[in-house]
A = this chain, B = another copy of it.
């Protein structure tokens, strides 16, 4: 058996790739800019060149068992990216087939949140768990759901879009998906910034956030203000955590997970967001589940998680995927 897998995380800005061994040690990693090439073929050429350079430098030629890729909207079943707002290339892209042909190595793909969930299950806070839900709080809200030790892909491969649960049925915020009231319009980093702007416009009390140009406020600014003791900034996190905790109580009646793992930029807010999440979950939980699901922070470095998760998928890659 070949001792390594190649994990690739295709993000909107960077593509990170790493050689990973069976224990989850990243032997070596590197990255390229995702958006540098207008055509996917040119991007793939550069990715191949740089990845092979890394592989050769680490004496890993012919030692790569499989390639695992996490990418926005990538479909585990079909190996395709059909469409995504986060990548500029012409769609659809038969990602798994093209990468597999280029490298001559079997390849499996999934979306970025599922890759992170696999990483967390294999190497992180969900080690040993068979039922958990990964919530990624970044520009949007993503999710990876694991039930009976398996990622939930659903009938079409697109299951686990919990960022698009409707948390406000009427008069909710506009979402990029074309609907209104989605969880991610409130609980993503972008959602936190929107909440900040709403609070600053509607309310009158002083806040450190008023020193910033209102249109430029980011979730990081809100975090910094809250850590400096700013009351309004703290309330913004309470508001965010309350909505997320209510939604997580709803998710619990679906799959009764052992834990929720919180991942991504906003997870850095720690107790600022965990405390209101836990309070809202507890207050809104159906009694049979009360006090049961844990809420944990990811144990993986954000930079590593997707590559590790994608690499874990590499062990599942089968030559038959190539034949699609």
Contacts and interface: CB of A to CB of B under 8 A. Distances in A.
Interface string A154-181: 1111111110111111000000011100
A146 B178 CA distance: 29
A168 B256 CA distance: 21
A246 B168 CA distance: 12
A293 B292 CA distance: 31
A148 B287 CA distance: 28
Interface residues of A, number: 43
A259 B288 CA distance: 27
A120 interface: no
Given A161-B286, A286-B161, A292 B169 contact: no
Contacts of A254: 145, 152, 159-160, 162, 165, 251, 254-255
Nearest to A253: B161
A166 B250 contact: yes
B131 A256 contact: no
Contacts of A160: 253-256
A44 interface: no
Interface string A250-269: 11011111100000000000
A13 interface: no
A159, A160, A162 pick with most chain B CB within 10 angstroms:
A159
Contacts of A166: 246, 249-250, 284
A289 interface: yes
B256 A159 contact: yes
Given A154-B147, A246-B169, A286-B164, A255 B159 contact: yes
What 6 pairs across the A-B complex have the smallest Cβ distances?
A154-B256, A159-B256, A155-B258, A161-B253, A131-B155, A164-B286
19 contacts: A145-B254, A145-B255, A147-B154, A148-B148, A148-B150, A152-B254, A152-B255, A154-B255, A154-B256, A155-B256, A156-B289, A158-B288, A158-B289, A161-B253, A165-B254, A166-B250, A168-B169, A178-B287, A254-B254
Given A156-B292, A159-B253, A160-B254, 4 more contacts: A145-B255, A157-B256, A161-B253, A169-B246
